[in-house]
Amino acid sequence: MPTLTVYFDENLRVLEGLPDACADLIYIDPPFNTGKTQKRTRLRTEAAHDGDRVGFQGKRYRTVRLETKGYSDKFDDFLAFIEPRIRHAHRILKKDGSLFFHLDYREIHYCKVLIDSVFGRDSFMNEIIWAYDYGGRSKRKWPAKHDTILWYARDPEHYTFNFEEVDRIPYMAPGLVGAEKAARGKTPTDVWWHTIVSPNGKEKTGYATQKPLGIINRIVRVHSRPGDMLCDFFAGSGTLGEAAYQHGRDCILVDNNRDAIETMKQRFKSIPVEWILP
């Protein structure tokens, strides 16, 4: 049975406690550019038999507080915030593992330059466009109806890509390809057309930034194998955890937002979960 572990904690602290090369697939959908004043306390964790934190595989750690800084959560600060987390993502990925980094059009190009510097430009595999058609339409510019997902392979020569697990999609002009091909469908490209989570659908958890299970399922099936360890350290509503459990993968989820934890508690009521709480 797959194992699902949820940490209610600051993700950098949890990442510092995870061992090298422990994750086969990382998917993150970080917050960005909120405009709010954020306070961050820099911490260091060290192994200790009587530590105040429980980490990976039950190991205990002591938390040492170093300093607290406040800043406005805008572009430059976001990059400073995300960089150490990307470096840990690179460290904890296995040799054939992958990182999927999900953001919208405002900051994704700056983040790509940052991730290139950590993973190496050769490790960049795809820019995936998730296109949807929902919500208001501006009369002053072209309405923004897509997110961007960057795929990086830890080793661009050896990575997991299960082509046989790629779900097929309908042809836009089935009459041009013949009945057999039309019935089989075609494989997606790097543009993924998928609706957002319906406000009235069964999938909806009420969490503001919830991503569709269909998008995450595709990533999980194609870029990991049964029994693999998946990780999302900006877990939000826990969509990666649900996809992982459905497809027989283990998963580590981390979030320090109480609303996210409460949402996951409701979402995972029928799933065995190890909750690591303060």
The pLDDT tens digits of the residues spanning 180-212 come to 999 999 999 999 999 999 887 889 998 988 999
Best CA proximity match to 94, nearest among 22, 44, 19, 41? 22
* Region of 9 on the Ramachandran plot (φ > 0 left; ψ -120 to 50 alpha; else beta): beta
Percent of the chain with pLDDT over 70: 85
Q: State residue 198's pLDDT score.
A: 83
Query: Worst-scoring range by mean pLDDT, 70-84, 99-113, 161-175, 193-207?
Result: 70-84
Across residues 36-58, what is the average pLDDT? 58
What is the average pLDDT value for the chain, to the nearest integer? 89
Q: State residue 67's pLDDT score.
A: 46
Tell me which of 62 and 88 has the higher pLDDT: 88
How far is 196 from 133, CA to CA, in rounded Å? 8
Q: State residue 44's pLDDT score.
A: 57
Q: State residue 70's pLDDT score.
A: 39
Q: Are 60 and 47 a contacting pair, CB within 8 Å? A: yes
Q: Which residues contact 35 (CB under 8 A, 6 or more apart)?
A: 72, 73, 74
Best CA proximity match to 29, nearest among 261, 235, 199, 265? 235
Other CB atoms closer than 10 Å to residue 108's CB: what's the count? 17
Q: How confident is the model at residue 177 (pLDDT cuts 50, 70, 90)?
A: confident
Q: How confident is the model at residue 34 (pLDDT cuts 50, 70, 90)?
A: very low
* E strand or H helix that includes residue 129: strand 124-131
pTM: 0.84
